[in-house]
Amino acid sequence: RMYKRQLVCRRDIDVLNVPFLAIYESLIPPEEEKQKQKQLMALLERLVSKEWPAAKLYLYGSCANSFGVSKSDIDVCLAIEEADMDKAKIIIKLADILQSDNLQNVQALTRARVPIVKLMDPVTGISCDICINNLLAVVNTKLLRDYALIDPRLRQLAFIIKHWAKSRRVNETYHGTLSSYAYVLMCIHYLQMRRPAILPCLQEMETTYSVTVDDINCAFFDKVEKLGDFGRHNKETIAQLVRGFFHYWAYCHDYANSVISVRTGSIISKREKDWTRRIGNDRHLICIEDPFETSHDLGRVVDKYSIKVLREEFERAAEIMQNDPNPCIKLFEPY
Ligand code: ATP
Ligand code: MG
């Protein structure tokens, strides 16, 4: 009898696979968008190399980590060795160089936490932010992209979760909720923790890729094509994973004591990281360890008000996934 009940439940949730996959497909950027990004990168490379022949440009963030939805802005990092020049000066010079070409709305934001040049390319219609020497972001972009290549369910889950977070307005770091980067790490961690596991822990495996950036050694296994169909022993479907993800963050996560860690593929304790007290503005109300900058908690933007908002949204989503006859509508209802 129990067995029959489980089967019924299972079939019920799985009717949601079709609409969830349809939402996922509708969010994937079309190939022509990728072409336009390449076209803009080529233009930027040409302009930058005139002034700094040794400089390099890297795409990072959602346009390069495979978790970007259609019509996203692109994030670019200028890698440059100008020991005698501070970032603000480089930003101003860069804005100058780009201004002279027919790029639009070129702005140098030298006072931002991460100084950037913003611009819009009228030919491709793409907006872009360029930062200087933020190479850790380039490396974490590669880590995310490599994870996405291991099992298609990661990209599906992350697209659905990002879409939910944007619809419900809990993807706004300036309002104390989480970045897209944090949500993707939560998805990777969730799939690492499934039994059987759907994702491995690349940083605990043999090192095949290693770079040192800002004194941090970033090492992991990146020959992901050799992992075969790693998650094949786990048959969970996208609908079950979406439900399980929200259920975990609504009812199972130990907010008081736990840190989720993609680096170790496990849960570690706040005590172990000394993240138990509030220091300055770091409250550690939801703890997500950065895989490389391990002293960095991606939940540090969350304050005592926004943690309530966030947890209520997780509970709302879990409740909808459990009981609502038509969850795909309700889940993404604009806030
Ligand atoms: P979106 O689709 O919302 O633009 P995104 O992946 O570009 O998503 P952002 O949160 O805009 O995500 O961040 C861009 C990139 O910057 C991330 O992919 C990551 O490499 C890096 N990044 C963002 N926030 C942090 C952070 N707090 N610490 C370290 N790296 C970060
Ligand atoms: Mg972005």
As a dihedral over the C-alpha atoms of residue 274, residue 280, residue 284, residue 290, rounded to 10 degrees, the angle is -80
ipTM score for this prediction:
0.95
Reduced to 3 states (helix: H, G, I; strand: E, B; else coil), residue 226 is: helix
* For ligand 1, mutation pick of 28, 33, 59, 62 (most atoms within 8 Å of CB): 62
- Cβ–ligand 1 distance for 129 under 6 Å, the answer no
Q: What is the CATH number of domain 150-331?
A: 1.10.1410.10
- Cβ–ligand 1 distance for 72 under 6 Å, the answer yes
Q: What is the CATH number of domain 31-136?
A: 3.30.460.10
Q: Which uninterrupted H or E stretch holds 258?
A: strand 258-261
CATH 3.30.460.10 residue spans of the chain: 31-136
- Cβ–ligand 1 distance for 291 under 6 Å, the answer no
Q: Cα separation of 196 and 211, whole Å?
A: 31
DSSP codes joined into one string, 4-26? HHHHHHHHHHHTTHHHHHHHHHH
CATH 1.10.1410.10 residue spans of the chain: 150-331
Q: Which atom of ligand 1 is nearest the CA belonging to 141?
A: 20
**Residue spans of alpha helices (H) in the chain:** 2-14, 17-27, 31-51, 87-99, 135-150, 152-167, 180-193, 238-247, 270-273, 306-323, 327-331
Quick count: other Cβ atoms within 10 Å of Cβ 158? 28
Q: How far is CA 215 from the centre of its chain?
A: 23
Reading the chain (335 residues) residue by residue, the pLDDT tens digits are 555 555 445 558 999 999 999 999 999 999 999 999 999 999 999 999 999 999 999 999 999 999 999 988 999 999 998 777 788 999 999 999 999 778 999 999 999 888 999 999 999 999 999 999 999 999 999 999 999 999 999 999 999 999 999 999 999 999 999 999 999 999 999 999 999 999 999 999 999 999 999 999 999 999 999 999 999 999 999 999 999 999 999 999 999 999 999 999 999 999 999 999 888 888 899 999 999 999 999 999 999 999 999 999 999 999 999 999 889 999 999 98
* CA 207 to ligand 2 center in whole angstroms: 28
Amino acid at 243: R
As a dihedral over the C-alpha atoms of residue 193, residue 199, residue 204, residue 205, rounded to 10 degrees, the angle is 150
